């Protein structure tokens, strides 16, 4: 291991658990053929919510998976709290406070609600503090508290999304990546999830990168909106502009 | 009636060994999605270590402890050394690598110790205790049963009550999600191999004194029986390994007692085929099949 990498890991560990800035610089990602992302620049300032918008296939999921380290970048940099993440493993990124809720809710079907939450928290807390952290999540999502002994595969779609989100935030991440959390959920549950994100930003200063096709819900909580089209950033505006300027919305988001 | 009782009791003791060995197969299957065909040979290496250590120290118990350590080390070396590099694209590559490991280990044992069978002493008497004129089971059988059931209880607690167990299970069920939560999945896979190989080594150590003795092929039949147990119980199911192990042990004991030892392997294969026809996933397979 190079000295540079050791320093990077040390810097990541020592950091405080408030929101951190995430910056993507000229990120290009390809699965072998034509690149899926081409020179993408995105800045998510600490303590803000940035909505990542775009149609199916625009590259949103690829972008998130590259940031969390599941996919390698062909070129470009991912900078987390001032530290270049090149060469840092998926596990170390997660331990440093980069949490991802993957698409499809990703609840471990064979584990109970309680076990899923403990799994999310145990890299950061042990013993009583872990139990307290789990109880904190139950306080945030009442429906989960009633199902703590249920296995993941017995949960409804809304319960799964709450569990996936609860499991990602239990370890007090610094940056949260969310891939389509509203997919297939009732509007009431979507509103609840967006309210939790807003609360985390306002109270803890959490940084959120929120990939969504549900543009209205995403822009309602976001500070900023980035629109991807065919792997390139075509708009990067304050959420307010995208919400209110119908010409902009029509040009970039098709409605 | 007396005979039935005796056959049932010895069958349970033998079955407990099958269950332990099958549990080792299940643990590795769950951790790495590989059927560890090398487990018999790896376990025999550990039993040779125990044999040597017991010979040097005169203590069965130090030998037993060294078999556990040697078994765990075998798991570490085989996983880190070769199995890690097996392609996950084809399930066959892991099997072929495992068979290669068997050949290497058995030849190495043959070169080092020769292929002759060495008798191994049990730490307790192997003649049955007689209760009310009925021979039931030997002190050694009792020891085997207690040790096997106790170890399985400890493993059950480890997997369900500890952070390590939670991470082991999560890594087995959902490796990608586990990594995203900061779990060091490759370490968990190694831990699964170490744990399973130690358990397999103990099973072989317990079996050898009840057989002719120790040679490089001592665990071959144990592997076949335990593989049947694992498939019958469901490769994903630790409770399946326990119940399947006891059932196969009793089956072999009854068939051997009433029909003769030569019929026993046929009975095991009939059971295997019957289960595969009726419930291909195993009797204790969970309803949601996992293809990923």
Q: What is the pLDDT of residue B93?
A: 86
pLDDT band at B291 (very low <50, low <70, confident <90, very high): very low
- State whether B183 and A90 contact (CB < 8 Å): no
Q: Give me the domain span that covers residue A247.
A: 3-106+173-253
By CA distance, what is A154's nearest residue in B?
B288
Q: How far is A111 from chain B (nearest CA, A)?
A: 8
Continuous H helices in A170-228: 187-204, 215-221
CATH number at residue A192: 3.40.50.300
Give the mutation candidate from B177, B181, B183 for the A interface (greatest A CB count, under 10 A). Answer: B181
Which residues of chain B have a Cβ shorter than 8 Å from any chain A Cβ?
163, 166-167, 169-170, 173-174, 176-185, 286, 288
Q: Compare CB distances from B166 to A92, A119, A171 and report the shortest one's residue.
A: A119
A181-191 burial: b if 16+ Cβ within 10 Å, else e: bbeebeeebbe
- Give the pLDDT confidence of B169-222 residue by residue, as tens digits: 999 999 999 999 999 999 999 999 999 999 999 999 999 998 888 999 999 989
pLDDT score of B278 more than 90: no
For chains A and B, what is the number of CB pairs under 8 angstroms?
A: 62
| Average pLDDT of the segment spanning B48-71 | 96
Encoding tokens for residue B127?
A: 């003649």
Q: What is the pLDDT of residue B94?
A: 87
- State whether B185 and A123 contact (CB < 8 Å): no
Tell whether A236 is covered by a domain. yes
> Is the C-alpha dihedral spanning A221, A223, A229, A230 positive or negative?
negative
Question: Which domains are assigned to chain B?
Answer: 2-113+132-278 (1.10.3470)
List chain B residues with CB under 8 Å of A99. Answer: 180
Give the mutation candidate from B172, B182, B186 for the A interface (greatest A CB count, under 10 A). Answer: B182
By CA distance, what is B236's nearest residue in A?
A110
Q: What is the pLDDT of residue B132?
A: 79
Q: How far is B248 from chain A (nearest CA, A)?
A: 28
pLDDT score of B290 more than 60: no
**Cα B108 to Cα A34: distance, rounded to the nearest angstrom:** 51
Any idea which residue has 């013993």 for tokens? A127
Tell whether A154 is covered by a domain. no
Tell whether A153 is covered by a domain. no
- Give the pLDDT confidence of B41-59 residue by residue, as tens digits: 999 999 999 999 999 999 9
- State whether B166 and A109 contact (CB < 8 Å): no
Residues of chain A with pLDDT under 70: 1-16, 105, 255
Tell whether A209 is covered by a domain. yes
Encoding tokens for residue A7?
A: 């320093």
By CA distance, what is A89's nearest residue in B?
B179
Q: Compare CB distances from A111 to B163, B169, B286 and report the shortest one's residue.
A: B169
Q: How far is B249 from chain A (nearest CA, A)?
A: 30
Burial (CB count within 10 angstroms: exposed 0-12, middle 13-18, buried 19+), residue A234? middle
- State whether B166 and A90 contact (CB < 8 Å): no
Q: Compare CB distances from A70 to B174, B176, B181 and report the shortest one's residue.
A: B176
pLDDT band at B289 (very low <50, low <70, confident <90, very high): very low
- State whether B170 and A126 contact (CB < 8 Å): no
Q: What is the pLDDT of residue A15?
A: 45
Tell whether A149 is covered by a domain. no
List chain B residues with CB under 8 Å of A100. Answer: 180
- State whether B177 and A108 contact (CB < 8 Å): yes
- State whether B181 and A120 contact (CB < 8 Å): yes
Count of the separate structural domains present in chain A = 1
The verdict on ipTM greater than 0.85 is: yes
- State whether B180 and A123 contact (CB < 8 Å): no
**Cα A177 to Cα A168: distance, rounded to the nearest angstrom:** 9
Tell whether A188 is covered by a domain. yes
By CA distance, what is A153's nearest residue in B?
B288
Give the mutation candidate from A108, A114, A169 for the B interface (greatest B CB count, under 10 A). Answer: A108
**Cα B109 to Cα B215: distance, rounded to the nearest angstrom:** 8
List chain B residues with CB under 8 Å of A175. Answer: none
| Average pLDDT of the segment spanning B97-111 | 94
Using an 8 Å Cβ cutoff, are B72 and B195 in contact? yes
CA torsion, points B13, B17, B18, B24, in degrees to nearest 10?
150
**Cα A162 to Cα B23: distance, rounded to the nearest angstrom:** 35
Give Dmax (Cα) for chain B.
63
Q: Compare CB distances from B163 to A68, A94, A122 and report the shortest one's residue.
A: A122
List chain A residues with CB under 8 Å of B167. Answer: 119, 122
Beta strand extents in chain B (DSSP E only):
130-131, 134-135
- State whether B184 and A90 contact (CB < 8 Å): no
Q: What is the pLDDT of residue A21?
A: 94
Q: Which of A46, A88, A51, A50 is nearest to A70 (CA)?
A: A88
- State whether B181 and A109 contact (CB < 8 Å): no
Q: Compare CB distances from A102 to B169, B180, B288 and report the shortest one's residue.
A: B180
Residue A32: partners with Cβ closer than 8 Å, 6 or more residues away: none
- Give the pLDDT confidence of B118-163 residue by residue, as tens digits: 888 888 988 888 887 778 889 999 999 999 999 999 999 999 999 9
């Amino acid at each position: 291991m190079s000295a540079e990498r050791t320093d990077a890991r040390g810097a990541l560990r020592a950091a405080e658990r408030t929101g951190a800035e995430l910056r993507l610089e000229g990120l290009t990602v390809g699965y072998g053929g034509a690149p899926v992302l081409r020179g993408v620049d995105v800045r998510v300032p600490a303590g803000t919510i940035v909505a990542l918008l775009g149609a199916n296939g625009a590259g949103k999921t690829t972008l998130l998976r590259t940031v969390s380290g599941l996919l390698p970048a062909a070129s470009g940099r991912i900078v987390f709290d001032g530290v270049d993440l090149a060469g840092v493993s998926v596990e170390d990124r997660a331990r440093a406070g980069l949490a991802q809720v993957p698409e499809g809710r990703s609840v471990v079907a064979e584990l109970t609600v309680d076990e899923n939450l403990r799994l999310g928290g145990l890299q950061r807390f042990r013993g009583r503090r872990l139990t307290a952290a789990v109880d904190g999540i139950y306080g945030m999502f009442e429906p989960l508290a009633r199902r703590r002994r249920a296995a993941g595969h017995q949960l409804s779609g809304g319960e799964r999304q709450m569990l996936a989100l609860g499991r990602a935030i239990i370890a007090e991440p610094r940056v949260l990546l969310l891939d389509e959390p509203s997919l297939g959920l009732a509007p009431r549950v979507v509103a609840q999830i967006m309210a939790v994100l807003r609360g985390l930003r306002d109270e803890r200063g959490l940084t959120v990168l929120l990939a969504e096709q549900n543009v209205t819900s995403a822009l309602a909580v976001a500070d900023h909106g980035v629109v991807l089209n065919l792997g390139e950033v075509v708009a990067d505006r304050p959420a307010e502009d995208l919400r209110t300027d119908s010409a902009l919305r029509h040009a970039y988001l098709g409605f | 009636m007396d005979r039935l009782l005796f056959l049932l009791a010895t069958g349970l003791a033998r079955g407990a060994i099958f269950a332990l060995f099958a549990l080792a197969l299940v643990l590795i299957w769950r951790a790495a999605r590989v059927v560890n065909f090398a487990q018999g040979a790896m376990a025999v290496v550990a039993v040779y270590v125990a044999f040597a250590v017991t010979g040097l120290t005169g203590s069965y118990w130090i030998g037993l402890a060294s078999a556990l350590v040697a078994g765990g080390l075998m798991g570490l070396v085989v996983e880190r050394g070769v199995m890690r590099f097996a392609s996950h694209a084809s399930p066959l590559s892991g099997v072929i690598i495992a068979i290669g490991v068997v050949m290497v280990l058995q030849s190495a044992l043959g070169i080092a110790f020769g292929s002759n069978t060495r008798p191994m002493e049990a730490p307790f008497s192997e003649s049955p205790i007689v209760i009310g004129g009925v021979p039931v089971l030997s002190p050694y059988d009792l020891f085997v049963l207690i040790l096997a059931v106790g170890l399985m209880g400890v493993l059950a607690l480890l997997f369900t009550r500890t952070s390590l167990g939670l991470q082991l299970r999560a890594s087995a069920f959902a490796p990608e999600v586990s990594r995203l939560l900061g779990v060091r999945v490759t370490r968990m896979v190694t831990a699964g191999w170490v744990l399973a190989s130690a358990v397999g080594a103990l099973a072989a150590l317990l079996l050898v004194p009840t057989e002719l003795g120790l040679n490089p092929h001592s665990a071959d039949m144990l592997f076949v029986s335990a593989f049947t147990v694992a498939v019958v119980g469901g490769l994903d199911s630790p409770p399946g390994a326990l119940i399947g192990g006891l059932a196969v042990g009793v089956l072999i004991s009854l068939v051997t007692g009433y029909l003769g030892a030569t019929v026993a392997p046929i009975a095991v294969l009939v059971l295997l085929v019957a289960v595969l026809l009726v419930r291909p996933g195993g009797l204790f397979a969970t309803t949601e099949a996992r293809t990923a």
